[in-house]
Copies of this chain bind each other. A is one copy, B any other.
Amino acid sequence: MPTENPTASRETHSATDVGSVGLVKPKSQHFSEPLELACGRILQQYTLVYETYGKLNTDKSNAVLICHALSGHHHAAGRHRDDDKRPGWWDHYIGPGKPIDTNQFFVVAVNNLGGCHGSTGPVSINPDTGHAWGPDFPSLRVRDWVHSQARLADVLGIGQWAAVIGGSLGGMQAMRWSLEYPERVSNCVVIASALKLSAQNIAFNETARQAITSDPDFCDGRYLQASKLPRRGLAVARMIGHITYLSDDGLGRKFGRELRSGSFQRGTDEEIEFQIQSYLRYQGLSFSNIFDPNTYILMTRALDFFDLAREYGDDPVAAFSHARCRFLLLSFTSDWRFAPERSKEIADALMHANIPVSYAEIESAMGHDAFLLPNARYEGVFHAYMKRVATELAEEVR
């Protein structure tokens, strides 16, 4: 059986010794060498936007790659401006003294190809047509991201990552890295992920896509040319996603059946609205202002298509027998979209493939979202594992 990191429970994580990476600035890297995609199409040129935190050491051995999830991007930590309301999406876990310690590591966070935050994707101009790619942007698989990330590593002179780290869809990228480039990954941290999606997961993604594509403003994906935006569809898609990223218990604790307006008094016909209703609507609407619908479709399809062991005879043990790194797996008790059982399947396969693996199931009421949120045990286990990675790096340098 996979064992939990024995040092984890002794870790106490203090807020006083941690800090922020401070102000950060996205970088941009253009690639003019064609990239052959899994679908067979070729992307003649593309740009990746990324951020880095910490310093690359002289032998370039302390680099860590952060792979983002469905709606993530390259801005994982710090702030772009002093008055930014929020820091990067994983700021709680990346910074000086944090689990991904920028005093130890050179952290690289990339906006994936096909994204809508600066890297080449559906909102970029297709040089062949002069219009946005829109629905004509090639269908991507997780391995395409890994290949494009490897080219960025080449540019940065990083031969081997000290760790490739990701949650959810990001964890799929981390696993794929361990098979596509076994010699280039020293550690693989896979959080709240799975070897492949279940039919239920695909069903939720399909319903979200239907909400988008059935919005008349979707215009067969050519909404930008039509100066439209399928906001309503994207909002419903996000609402569906949002519910499934939270747990029943977590929603119950946060909202219960509290009313936002109206009353259940007999004989009153004012509009009754629960808190959860307005919260969800707000979440949907906010998201529809910042995310590209074609990108949402592309990302969810990459999630659906991912199946780590498919080309290894559907045998995850055979797949992982190609890996050369150590693994840390983390899951969260109330995560029903990427349940602990899915992480256990990964752990079991790694064990059977004789790959060193640490696994911890973290108690949390926050569902799948837990991987983004503060949690003392999660921080402790993660920190302990990364400290060992840093220690071993230091020993190698000596």
Contact = CB atoms under 8 A, between A and B. Distances in A.
A280 B211 contact: no
Contacts of A390: none
A214 B237 CA distance: 12
Contacts of A284: 210
B39 A280 contact: no
A252 B341 CA distance: 14
A214 B236 contact: yes
Interface in A322-351: 336
Nearest to A274: B202
B264 A199 contact: no
Secondary structure at the A interface, as helix, strand, loop or mixed, is helix
Contact of A243 (B207, B256, B272, B274): B207
Interface string A207-238: 10011001110000000000000001101100
Contacts of A233: 214
Interface residues of A, number: 55
Interface string A265-293: 01111001010110011001000000000
A240 interface: yes
Given A264-B307, A336-B336, 14 more contacts: A40-B266, A139-B269, A197-B257, A199-B254, A199-B256, A202-B257, A203-B239, A206-B277, A210-B239, A216-B216, A240-B240, A257-B307, A264-B305, A272-B305
7 contacts: A199-B251, A199-B276, A200-B248, A206-B239, A214-B232, A214-B233, A257-B307
Interface of A: 38-41, 138-139, 196-200, 202-204, 206-207, 210-211, 214-216, 232-233, 235-236, 239-240, 243, 246-248, 251-252, 254-257, 264, 266-269, 272, 274, 276-277, 280-281, 284, 301, 304-305, 307, 310, 336
